[in-house]
Amino acid sequence: MSKQSKKRPGKAGSKSTGMTGRLLHTKVKTARGRKNSSTLWLERQLNDPYVAEAKTRGLRSRAAFKLMQIDDRYKLLKSGDSVVDLGAAPGGWTQVAVERVGALKGKGRVLAVDILGMEPMQGAEIMKLDFTADDADIEVKKALGGLANAVISDMAAPTTGHRQTDHLRIVYMCELALDFAIDVLAPGGVFVAKVLKGGTENQLLDMLKKNFAQVHHAKPEASRADSREAYVVATGFRGRDDDESGEA
- 156 lies in the same domain as 68: yes
Q: What is the pLDDT of residues 167-214, one digit of tens each?
A: 888 999 999 999 999 999 999 999 999 998 655 678 899 999 999 999
CA distance 20 to 32: 34
Pick the closest to residue 148 from 245, 233, 77 (CA basis). 77
- 183 lies in the same domain as 125: yes
The partner residues of 190 in beta bridges, in order of sequence, read: 150
Domain closes at, from 21, 39, 57:
57
- 36 lies in the same domain as 120: no
CA distance 187 to 50: 35
- 47 lies in the same domain as 71: no
- 69 lies in the same domain as 153: yes
Q: What is the pLDDT of residues 14-47, one digit of tens each?
A: 555 555 444 444 454 555 555 555 544 444 544 5
Mean pLDDT to the nearest integer, 7-16: 52
- 107 lies in the same domain as 34: no
Q: Which residues of 46-65 are buried (b: 16+ CB within 10 A; e: fewer)?
A: eeebbbbbbeebbbbbbbbb
- 81 lies in the same domain as 106: yes
- 53 lies in the same domain as 69: no
Q: What is the pLDDT of residues 80-120, one digit of tens each?
A: 999 999 999 999 999 999 999 999 999 999 999 999 999 99
Q: By residue range, what is the domain housing residue 158?
A: 63-245
pLDDT at residue 143 above 80?
yes
Whole-number Cα distances in Å, 44 to 13, 29, 84, 160, 182: 25, 13, 31, 20, 38
Quote the mean pLDDT of the chain.
83
CA distance 81 to 227: 31
Residue 248: predicted pLDDT: 35
Residue 3: predicted pLDDT: 40
CATH number of the domain where residue 169 is located:
3.40.50.150
CA distance 65 to 55: 12
- 35 lies in the same domain as 113: no
Q: What is the pLDDT of residues 151-171, one digit of tens each?
A: 999 998 777 778 788 888 899
Residue 224: predicted pLDDT: 79
- 84 lies in the same domain as 162: yes
Residues 181, 215: contact at Cβ < 8 Å? no
Residue of higher predicted confidence among 220 and 248: 220
Domain closes at, from 57, 76, 95:
57
- 162 lies in the same domain as 40: no
- Pairing outcome for strands 212-218 and 185-196: unpaired
Question: Cα torsion at 74, 88, 101, 238 (round to 10°)?
Answer: 50
Q: What total of structural domains would you count in the chain?
A: 2
- 127 lies in the same domain as 174: yes
- Which residues are marked as active site? 194
